[in-house]
Structure 1
């Protein structure tokens, strides 16, 4: 047989094997994208699928996550006095058991939630809390840059360690590559424990698929305060031309211990070392009910996606969603469409500028379908809107690191905080109104005037949604 015949046989052998293999191991949407790639370029598509086609984690990581979930549930069992149970038949009666089943944490009362909308102000509060720490500082972040913010955080951790404070820093191996390269030795020399998460290189087989990332942003200071939201440890313009606008929640009360439990889980998954987590008492001066939602490929369900869809289905009057990246799966798209068609005022707020060009093209392909269903789409212009949050009626607000895209739903470890508090929702409504004041609403008439080449570009980008 000639070389050409062998190559032809190999080419078709790969296509047929992919047709049999891929649909049984990935979702239908992802299988569609991968089969298209393998069908067009088999010799390229096959190795790419083997590397990135299935969101697998090592068995040891899955085992450690399962054990961490078990410990979290067992440790909460004696603390029923902290549990918050909704009264009546509102939407929160459905969300509380769902989140506890998905993410292990019960809802608690006696919390304080402060929404921080100012980038520099949020950073100052964090640095002040680190400087005031007496026992421990635990930081878990996706991104830390070698810039003025990275320097400020490093200096604050070194000062805390010099006072005898136990300081631990967990950073994503890819997102925080620059910060790890510049600050790791200095921090360790000062007594700060530093570890990278989901490392690549020769260690990737012990972690998981190479593009799986820990996208969480969490800071815990003593038992007194914690931070969760969208802001990384970097200057607002760490992507040139895209100054970020963020939203962070500074919390106090029992939820602080829950955020520390998430840190301790990730620390255990990365190092094998178990940390003690101590309960935090309810506050006397505040009584917000909140519930934590960790998500990621180590969990048996798509925690983030299922929560977003449930909130959309439970909305009765108003649903506002804010995200920098909007590449939804079929379930999320359907939930938003059904909510709008049911008469809910659904407002999607996106950033007019975007640092991920392919993602921006893909998300534009969804606009017409959403507009036809009655979903409002606003494009915020002054900054790159990197905040990630949503609000439901006047009752619930979700804030954290979760984007409304397939990567956040299936590939990244994420964190969300669901607040069952009308005052928190009212404050979030003020922030949403501020976005809308500087945003342009997309109309069907305007959208239909875009040139044909843009529509083709959007369609091609959408075909690759499962690669994002």
Structure 2
């Protein structure tokens, strides 16, 4: 009898294991269905539920690591405190506030954008600024190095990427020289983007007296920062109170990704906006270190008198600052809007805004890069062309370089330049920075840059696009399913 029972147990054991695994699969699927939609956007929830539905034992761990753009409570608390300080410190400088009403460069769009951007990102618009748009890669880096070599008090740099190449070496040498002169040099670098530069230069820079801090570190410390793939993607520099830099360019050679020479756009600014850039730097420094920096007094206004407003964004803020600002600009365009980005994976709201603008008669021009160093992103990006072309959006693919610049222009009145890509990662996961310029001359200069792109770009037509093979359409559709995960 015992022998028969043992034989039956041996025969039934595989079935028991199979039943338990099947039950576990369905428990994971049902738990995901009840839990995931309450913690993320509907679009992201659909992507995650699809993954969990097909691969429960793989999808659930991935969701727990990457599914919800959470930050530690301490980081959110520090951002809220930094926002309070920024608003309070601007109060005594009301004379520098620019008002779009009554200004020759104050369009109806500016009247609506100014309060929105201030409520989202804390910074008031100021007049008395000057800006130089630098679209020459090497010239932009030379200007930064010259300013660092001329620094007398401080040099504050915040960058996503520092590479161990000739550019990284030149920047490090400039900081070493400045520190040797007694200049207080502070450097904030993203832990992932600047991994190679940190490995190569961190010890050397600290030994030279440069105060270097790593943003959003991983490893065992990730729980004190946030979700593992959240990044600080900002690129800015402040030299004394005299000059600031903001744009798309990293501290690396244009060929740091082999086969993809980058083309960028950077704004070198002077005037009160420099103090606001330093406020963003001080906020990130405080969030990472807990140390409160003393931001210097507002510098003397420039004769150029350009109206500007900063827009920081990121998961530490209560709203999607970058997404809401870009969508508002699209909706407020009356004649023409030109959007330049290397990565175009819009959320539903942005896609709808572009479609509505084009169908309303606004000339909507997208300038994208013909080459792309993110293959899955490129495939997902392609999936949006058919709908956009059908609604009248113009799409141009720039050929000569990897177009890494990120900017847009609205009618003749507003320009936005910075680190913000038109993708869900920039809108929801990365800390980004944008600079709005309410000035016709700045927009005219940006139009020149845009025209230069278009002169070396291929126009995508509906007839040509619909001739692509069916396998490409399938690939695009599958890649688009992961749009909220990119």
- TM-score, scaled to structure 1: 0.99
- Answering whether residue 465 of structure 2 is matched by residue 451 of structure 1, we say no
Distance apart, 1:347 and its partner CA = 0.2
Matches within 5 A, 1:81-96: 81-88=95-102, 90-96=108-114
**Residue number in structure 1 paired with 2:238:** 220
- Answering whether residue 37 of structure 2 is matched by residue 19 of structure 1, we say no
Whole-angstrom distance in 2 between the partners of 1:426 and 1:125: 22
Whole-angstrom distance in 1 between the partners of 2:227 and 2:109: 37
The equivalent position to 1:62 in structure 2, one of 76, 93, 100, is: 76
Distance apart, 1:284 and its partner CA = 4.2
**Residue number in structure 1 paired with 2:91:** 77
**Residue number in structure 1 paired with 2:480:** 462
- Answering whether residue 410 of structure 2 is matched by residue 392 of structure 1, we say yes
Structure 2 contact 69–230 (Cα < 8 Å) conserved: yes
Structure 1 contact 82–282 (Cα < 8 Å) conserved: no
- Give CA-to-partner distance per residue, 1:72-98, whole Å, 9 cap, x none: 001111110110011256210000000
**Residue number in structure 1 paired with 2:7:** none
**Residue number in structure 1 paired with 2:266:** 248
Distance apart, 1:212 and its partner CA = 0.1
Structure 2 contact 262–404 (Cα < 8 Å) conserved: yes
- Answering whether residue 58 of structure 2 is matched by residue 44 of structure 1, we say yes
Whole-angstrom distance in 1 between the partners of 2:420 and 2:193: 16
SS in 1 for 2:268: strand
Structure 1 contact 111–282 (Cα < 8 Å) conserved: no
- Give CA-to-partner distance per residue, 1:26-46, whole Å, 9 cap, x none: 100000000000000000000
Structure 2 contact 157–188 (Cα < 8 Å) conserved: yes
Whole-angstrom distance in 1 between the partners of 2:396 and 2:57: 42
- Answering whether residue 31 of structure 2 is matched by residue 31 of structure 1, we say no
Whole-angstrom distance in 2 between the partners of 1:355 and 1:192: 32
Distance apart, 1:283 and its partner CA = 2.4
Matches within 5 A, 1:99-178: 99-178=117-196
**Residue number in structure 1 paired with 2:219:** 201
The equivalent position to 2:370 in structure 1, one of 349, 352, 367, is: 352
Matches within 5 A, 1:180-329: 180-329=198-347
Distance apart, 1:280 and its partner CA = 2.2
Distance apart, 1:21 and its partner CA = 0.3
Structure 1 contact 19–35 (Cα < 8 Å) conserved: yes
SS in 1 for 2:251: coil
**Residue number in structure 1 paired with 2:8:** none
- Answering whether residue 71 of structure 2 is matched by residue 53 of structure 1, we say no
- TM-score, scaled to structure 2: 0.96
SS in 2 for 1:78: helix
- Give CA-to-partner distance per residue, 1:182-234, whole Å, 9 cap, x none: 10111001000001100000000000000000000000000000000000000
Structure 1 contact 291–419 (Cα < 8 Å) conserved: yes
Q: Name the larger-Rg structure.
A: 2
Whole-angstrom distance in 2 between the partners of 1:34 and 1:282: 51
Distance apart, 1:282 and its partner CA = 4.1
The equivalent position to 2:434 in structure 1, one of 413, 416, 441, is: 416
Structure 2 contact 270–302 (Cα < 8 Å) conserved: no
Structure 1: which 5+ runs fail to align? none
SS in 1 for 2:260: coil
Structure 2 contact 275–299 (Cα < 8 Å) conserved: no
- Answering whether residue 385 of structure 2 is matched by residue 371 of structure 1, we say no
Distance 1:284 1:20, change over 3 A: closer
Structure 2 contact 311–436 (Cα < 8 Å) conserved: yes
Whole-angstrom distance in 1 between the partners of 2:114 and 2:336: 20
- Give CA-to-partner distance per residue, 1:293-338, whole Å, 9 cap, x none: 0000000000000000000000000000000000000000001001
Distance apart, 1:349 and its partner CA = 0.2
Structure 1 contact 254–279 (Cα < 8 Å) conserved: no
